């Protein structure tokens, strides 16, 4: 079993983003960039817990993926089901042990709670995508809060965490709009329960909430550096462009733009403390 298949299962970019979100949450809570061993461990914990969730999700989706994504390591037979579940357990175990041994009680509880949430999501919610979307979208939000928990400073971080939550919820719904045909018979998503027009209105609402929450700390006088405002404004413009592409039914392009916008927004959050 080539190592590359085990690496591909964890979606390395997503896990790096989880670690990056932890770094940003810590930096915002601290008020400036301050590297220390505890932060490095927290970033590794975020990476490992995210990776465990990715592998476990593939394990429970393996039968559906035989038809929808037969090229993946599990349905293609490149990795066995037993190997996958052991892999997921090992990732979760190491991540939580590191959190327990080296991080604060609050940080460990957040890591453990999100581990449980990912397990419940993978086992029970993939078919109910309208609920599962909230778990997936909370990933970035949780990493920001997790980083801030290292120093118990949440005041500003929570604004950005909720902004990330709503922006990611919007992207998840856009993906569901694209996947309606592929999901039919396997999963139940919001576009299957509501009209396309109503789902797009919900996407609009989520984006507006995300944009408002990003600017709110600056409006309150807590986080108003020019670099931060400039970069998050670019991200917000891209979120609006993503909405426009969604209205045009260019769902794949809308998702891509939204993902780029989220990355730019995270960089903007970091620039607020540089």
Positive or negative, the Cα torsion across 149, 220, 224, 215? positive
- The HSE-up count of residue 21 (CA atoms within 13 Å, CB side) is 28
In angstroms, the Cα distances linking 198 to 175, 192, 202, 254, 257 are 15, 11, 6, 17, 21
Q: Could you please report the per-residue DSSP string of 110-148?
A: HHHHHHHHHHHHHHHSSSBHHHHHHHHHHHHHHHHHHHH
Q: Which residues of the chain fall short of a pLDDT of 70?
A: 1, 126
Question: What would the two tokens of residue 6 be?
Answer: 């085990």
Predicted confidence at residue 107, as pLDDT, reads 96
Q: What CA–CA distance (Å, rounded) separates 258 from 168? A: 8
Predicted confidence at residue 126, as pLDDT, reads 65
State the Cα angle at 189 between 73 and 159, rounded to 5°: 95
Question: What would the two tokens of residue 64 be?
Answer: 């559906």
State the Cα angle at 84 between 11 and 113, rounded to 5°: 70
Predicted confidence at residue 209, as pLDDT, reads 97
Model pTM above 0.85: yes
Q: What CA–CA distance (Å, rounded) separates 108 from 102? A: 9
Among 51, 57, 41, 61, CA closest to 17: 51
Q: What CA–CA distance (Å, rounded) separates 173 from 190? A: 7
- Domains along the sequence of the chain with CATH: 1-154 (1.10.357.140), 155-274 (1.20.120.1780)
């Amino acid at each position: 079993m080539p190592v590359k298949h085990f690496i591909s299962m964890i979606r390395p970019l997503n896990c790096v983003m989880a670690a990056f979100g932890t770094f940003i949450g810590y930096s915002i809570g601290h008020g400036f960039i301050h590297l220390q061993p505890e932060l490095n461990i927290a970033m590794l914990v975020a990476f490992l817990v995210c990776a465990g969730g990715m592998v476990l999700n593939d394990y429970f989706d393996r039968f559906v993926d035989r038809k929808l994504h037969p090229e993946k390591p599990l349905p293609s037979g490149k990795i066995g089901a037993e190997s996958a579940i052991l892999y997921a357990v090992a990732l979760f175990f190491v991540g939580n042990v590191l959190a327990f041994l080296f991080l604060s009680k609050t940080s460990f509880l957040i890591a453990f709670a999100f581990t449980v949430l990912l397990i419940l999501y993978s086992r029970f919610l993939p078919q109910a995508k309208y609920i599962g979307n909230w778990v997936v979208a909370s990933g970035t939000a949780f990493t920001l809060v997790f980083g801030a928990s290292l120093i118990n400073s949440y005041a500003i971080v929570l604004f950005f965490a909720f902004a990330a939550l709503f922006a990611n919820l919007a992207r998840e719904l856009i993906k569901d709009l694209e996947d309606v045909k592929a999901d039919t018979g396997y999963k139940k998503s919001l576009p299957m329960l509501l009209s396309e027009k109503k789902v797009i209105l919900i996407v609009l609402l989520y984006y507006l909430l995300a944009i408002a929450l990003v600017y709110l700390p600056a409006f309150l006088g807590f986080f108003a550096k020019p670099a931060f405002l400039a970069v998050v404004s670019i991200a917000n413009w891209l979120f609006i462009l993503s909405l426009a592409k969604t209205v045009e039914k260019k769902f794949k392009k809308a998702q891509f733009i939204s993902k780029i916008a989220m990355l730019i927004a995270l960089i903007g959050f970091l620039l607020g403390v540089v």
